[in-house]
Amino acid sequence: MFTVVSRISPAKDISLIEVFAPRIASAMLPGQFVTVKPTAGSRSVSLPVMKINHQAGTIGLLVQAVDEATALMVNNPEIFIFDRLTGPLGRPSLLADCNDRELVNSKLLFVAGGLGVASALMQIEWLNNIGVKTDVLLTAPTKASLLFREQFEKNCRNVYLATDDGSVGFHGSVTQMLGLLPTDQVKGYDLITTFGPLKMMKQVADFALNHGFPATAGFVELLSATGLNGFRLDVGGESMDVALEGPEFDARQVDFQHAISRSSISVSSAKDTAETVKLRGIPGIGLGEPVSKQA
């Protein structure tokens, strides 16, 4: 059993829950995630880890109430012990394979929206702790729904904001915002990593594909927001499990249009849980590496 240390609500139906889990905290690498079973009778939920406190032995989980299990975590203060917490799960970000000097010399951009800010902030803080300053583009419908802006400003070199209603930052889409950045700056990025809503990640993937540089997309928030514990991807004709072989993939190869068409998947439609979100293979284009791997 795992004790809830604190629970704060940055927005309606969303909570940042700090849980005492020293083993997981010590083993967690950027890009990985956990599953939580809040009570013995509830389902397990895949969740992104937003922060780690190694000294206190805690991890911070960003949870949105989308079904009974997640609502228990977000809205029921009487639940202060989780029945089960499993992790770390999934493959770490490819950045974890690089040594500190390589990372310090790289130029990285993160694009995040919605619950995707959790995975983005986890990786950005990890990079900041080893001396790597990154850029981030945060997108949200309104200023009020822009989560954890101060934490990003503390850890990033440049923070770009875009809102659908123009209440703060740029008034427009991610693609439009990226298009306003200086050409030399955009071409200088070694890697763009994106987390968040499918439509937003599709814009980033299309932008990366059109400009010919590497980009990765993470899908932990999709698992969490749709109430699914996992789904399979068809990558170059090979079926891949997101939880085991992801959760990050080459954004340029994801068939986001097909994924968006399946976005109506929910726990209320059991037959859809086995559906496959497919990836498109792009001949001659591989993921590549933003920086060389450590020997």
Query: Which of 82 and 188 is assigned the larger pLDDT?
Result: 82
Query: Which of 114 and 232 is assigned the larger pLDDT?
Result: 114
Domain residue ranges of the chain, discontinuous segments joined by +: 2-89, 94-278
User: Cβ contacts of residue 175 below 8 Å, gap of 6+?
Assistant: 203, 204, 206, 207
Task: Write the Ramachandran bin of 124: left for phi over 0, alpha for psi from -120 to 50, otherwise beta.
Answer: alpha
* 94-278: CATH number: 3.40.50.80
Query: Which of 131 and 224 is assigned the larger pLDDT?
Result: 131
Residue 182 clears pLDDT 90, i.e. is over it: no
Q: What is the chain's mean pLDDT, rounded?
A: 84
Do 2-89 and 94-278 fold alike per CATH? no
Q: How far apart are CA 253 and CA 261, in angstroms?
A: 16
Residue 34 clears pLDDT 50, i.e. is over it: yes
Task: Find the mean pLDDT for residues 25-43.
Answer: 94
Q: Which pLDDT value is given to residue 294? A: 36
With residue 19 as reference, give the H or E element that holds it: strand 14-20
Q: Which pLDDT value is given to residue 288? A: 45
| Residue 185 pLDDT level (bands cut at 50, 70, 90) | confident
**Would you say the C-alpha torsion 78, 80, 82, 88 has a positive or negative sign?**
positive
Structure-token pair, residue 182: 């200086």
Task: Find the mean pLDDT for residues 264-290.
Answer: 44
Q: What one-letter code names the amino acid at 139?
A: T
Query: Which CATH topology does 2-89 take?
Result: Elongation Factor Tu (Ef-tu); domain 3 (2.40.30)
With residue 257 as reference, give the H or E element that holds it: helix 256-261
Q: Which pLDDT value is given to residue 266? A: 38
> Is the Cβ–Cβ distance between 290 and 106 less than 8 Å?
yes
